Amino acid sequence: MSTPSICPEWNPVNPAEHKNVWIYIETDKGQILEPSLQILGKGREVADKLGSKLVAVIIGYKIEGLIEDLGKYGADQVIYVDDEKLSTYYAPLYGDVLAHLAKKYKPEAFLVAGTMRGRELAPYIANHLRTGITADLTMIEVDEKNKEVILVRPPFGAWQLAHIRTMRRRPVMGSVRPNVFPTPKKDENRKLESIIKEELPEVHEIGLELISRVEIQKSEEMPIEKAEIIVSGGRGLGSKEGFELIKELASVLGGTYAGSRKAVDLGWIPHERQVGQTGKTVKPNLYVAIGISGAAQHVFGIREAKIVVAINSDQYAPIFENCDYGIVGDYKKIVPELIKQLKELKTKS
């Protein structure tokens, strides 16, 4: 005789009843955010390996003009809710609507971009669906034999990668770190197979009234995930003062500065400037690594950079195996000379 479950809603589900890969499409000021397009591109690959459809799920107000583009970026189907009550983002309302849709259609996997909104929404939805969630994904794999999605992320305080399976529940759910996947190319000839419009369900009462909007004053420093040129420093700088040269070179090049995990741990730069597996993934046209040894965790964060230049006093530093151009020497002599010559070139031009 089997023992009854204490919490029946957490009982195992039948995976065969769940199909398709869902991507939540985040918008802002009438535009689809790039992190959502990035996971839409990866979602296309995952759906193909599973032999399923890729479904873009978008909710908001006056969003119908965005729908066709989702097909051009890889979606097979779009499910959307367009309602004035969704004009202002409110996590409980958005979470309830998305969870309602997932309960109705039963996706195999449900992925969101790990933006500020996505990190708030994903656990809210997962709780409604009584499923697990993996946050800050850096890779998504597919066990093609068993038709199973495997989520990959760096564990807290560890250097390995954790491969996570959702064994008993569906959907497999995760939030994806922005910039770990490239933005797919837009195919103007690609068309959606179907579009499904859903009405706003009777879910969470908003309970809030929007009185006014206040634009948050943004930092003058360019976010590293958007920078085309990044000059980055590591423990090899020797001190926090070394970052003054890093910042000056970045300024002359028209870029911004960043650093390694060790530079953050030492308190030389803030965490939002950290590049690597436990920091941010960047994709600049030019990445200059100064005093950075080049551990695999750091290299992971720059794998989308077009050109990598390394400056290090250790000729055997691993960074030299992962760069396009390398300079062996003392950065305190090399960087000031670079700054000088770049300024002279600017003056002549």
Give the model's pLDDT for residue 165: 87
- Do 98 and 180 belong to one domain? yes
Residue 330: pLDDT over 90: yes
Average pLDDT over residues 74-101: 94
For residue 86 the two structure tokens come to 């969704």
Flag the least confident range among 102-106, 119-123, 154-158, 275-279.
154-158
- Do 88 and 165 belong to one domain? yes
Cβ-based neighbour number of residue 330 at 10 Å = 12
- Do 187 and 279 belong to one domain? no
Residue 1: pLDDT over 50: no
pLDDT band at 2 (very low <50, low <70, confident <90, very high): very low
Between CA 229 and CA 254 the distance in angstroms is 7
Give the model's pLDDT for residue 277: 81
Instruction: Tell me the whole-structure pTM to 2 decimals.
Output: 0.75
Closest CA to 56 of 133, 110, 137, 118: 110
Closest CA to 288 of 230, 246, 210, 237: 230
Residue ending a domain, among 182, 197, 212, is 197
CATH number for the domain including 48?
Answer: 3.40.50.620
Q: Range of 262's domain? A: 224-348
CB 89 within 8 A of CB 117: yes
DSSP states of 51-83 as a string?
T--EEEEEEESS-GGGHHHHHHTT-SEEEEEE-
First to last CA, the chain: 85
Cα-Cα-Cα-Cα dihedral of 110, 115, 121, 125, to 10°? 20
Tell me if 213 is assigned to some domain.
Answer: no
Closest CA to 40 of 54, 30, 61, 52: 54
How many distinct structural domains can be found in the chain? 2
